[in-house]
Amino acid sequence: MNDYFIYTDKMTVGYSGKPLIKDIEIRVNKGEILTLIGPNGAGKSTILKSITRQLGLIAGTVYLDGKTMERMTDKEVSRKLSVVMTERLNPELMTCEDVVGTGRYPYTGRLGILSDTDRMKVREAMEMVHARELADCDFTQISDGQRQRILLARAICQEPEIIVLDEPTSFLDIRHKLELLTILKQMVSERNVAVIMSLHELDLAQKISDLVVCVNGNKIERYGSPEDIFSGHYISELYHVTRGSYNEAFGCLELEAPKGKAEVFVIGGNGSGIALYRKLQRRGIPFAVGILHENDVDYQVAKALASQVISVKAFEPIDEKAFQQAAAVLEQCGEVYCCLTEYGTMNQRNRELKEYASEKQLLKEYRK
């Protein structure tokens, strides 16, 4: 227990005395990011609210820096832990700078009057999240994405040793998602802060987390590193994916392949065919792909979207068997597109496959 900055010992959480998830053990050290993932309604927010004392525990204990949180005062907790939750905060007649300034209350006197040092820390926090221009804006009049940045600034201003965030990237565009996560990573590496958060964006969870907790049903189903969690089709099982797929190698979703016999054959490789695969999928046209090496970036996408993929092992030249198989499938398709512009030692036979399609008068001009 004393080896971890925050530790939950057989924690049971729920509402109105009714258990939702039992025997939760989460262990996080300073300088680590732990992310909760799982289906909607699995209980991720409930776990976070229970850790931060917004919900009472049904059973178990939460330890913060070696102390039982239940026995700590609000001020003791708030000097170590800050919270960014998804609930809407609607303070009346408060500017964004005022809201960020509330993060200094654990350090002010009873009247909550900010010192010059406090105001400097408020400005620094707002600059860190690129929100200084919002200082004088009414907090209730800004966008959801801007609110999220202001609430993060408030948490940073609190100078915590651990930050707990519930879906912090909600409402943010791509730029601000990346900026927010970069700020968290910076705080972890430079200030040795611990972070516990929930995320729906699996690709981001896979890239930023040191530890991942998988919440499913009434239990913690898996707990480990991203390398352990994002492997072997587990994510599809966790989210009960039946339409489309999740590519754990790339950290991206793919829609399901068009149904039916292949109407188009695509000669691709080295990433050249991905755009066409997705274009055909969008149009609902079933297609076949070849000849791909199994370590080719095209192979991962083609495997998810194509009705058939003719492939050979990595680092091996295309053999006669694969060529004949591709030629046979190609002849059954009404159109052939070649996305390749260059050929190397290992895929010379794709050039022959293109020439074969041309001889059969099946080759069409490929335009991106």
What pLDDT, in 10s, does the model give residues 109-135?
766 788 889 999 999 999 988 899 999
| φ, ψ dihedrals at 2, nearest 5° | -70, -10
Residue among 338, 361, 365 nearest 350 (CA) = 338
Distance, CA of 177 to CA of 249 (rounded, Å): 21
Residue 73, burial from CB neighbour count under 10 angstroms (0-12, 13-18, 19+): exposed
Q: Which pTM value belongs to this model?
A: 0.85
DSSP per residue over 262-314, as a string? Answer: --EEEE--TTTTHHHHHHHHHTT--EEEEEEETTSHHHHHHHHH-SEEEEE-T
Per residue in 156-182, pLDDT (tens digit) is: 999 999 999 999 988 888 888 888 899
- Yes or no: say if 28 and 5 are a contact pair by the CB < 8 Å rule: yes
For position 1, what pLDDT does the model report? 46
SS3 254: strand
Place of tokens 């005022």: 98
Place of tokens 């732990």: 34
Torsion angle, CA of 150/151/154/159, rounded to 10 degrees?
-120
Place of tokens 């917004």: 54
For position 284, what pLDDT does the model report? 94
Place of tokens 């597109």: 337
For position 331, what pLDDT does the model report? 93
| φ, ψ dihedrals at 180, nearest 5° | -60, -45
Identify residue 138 by its one-letter amino acid code: D
Give all strands of the β-sheet with 308-312 in edge-to-edge order.
308-312, 287-293, 264-267, 335-338, 363-364
Tens digit of pLDDT at every position of the chain (368 positions): 456 889 999 999 999 889 999 999 999 999 999 999 999 888 999 999 999 999 999 999 999 998 999 999 988 999 999 998 866 666 777 899 999 999 898 888 766 788 889 999 999 999 988 899 999 999 988 988 888 889 999 999 999 999 999 999 888 888 888 888 998 999 999 999 999 999 999 999 999 999 999 998 788 999 999 999 988 788 888 988 888 888 887 778 888 899 999 999 999 999 999 999 999 999 999 999 989 999 999 999 999 999 999 999 999 999 999 999 999 999 999 899 999 988 988 889 999 999 999 999 999 988 77
For position 87, what pLDDT does the model report? 62
Distance, CA of 331 to CA of 90 (rounded, Å): 65
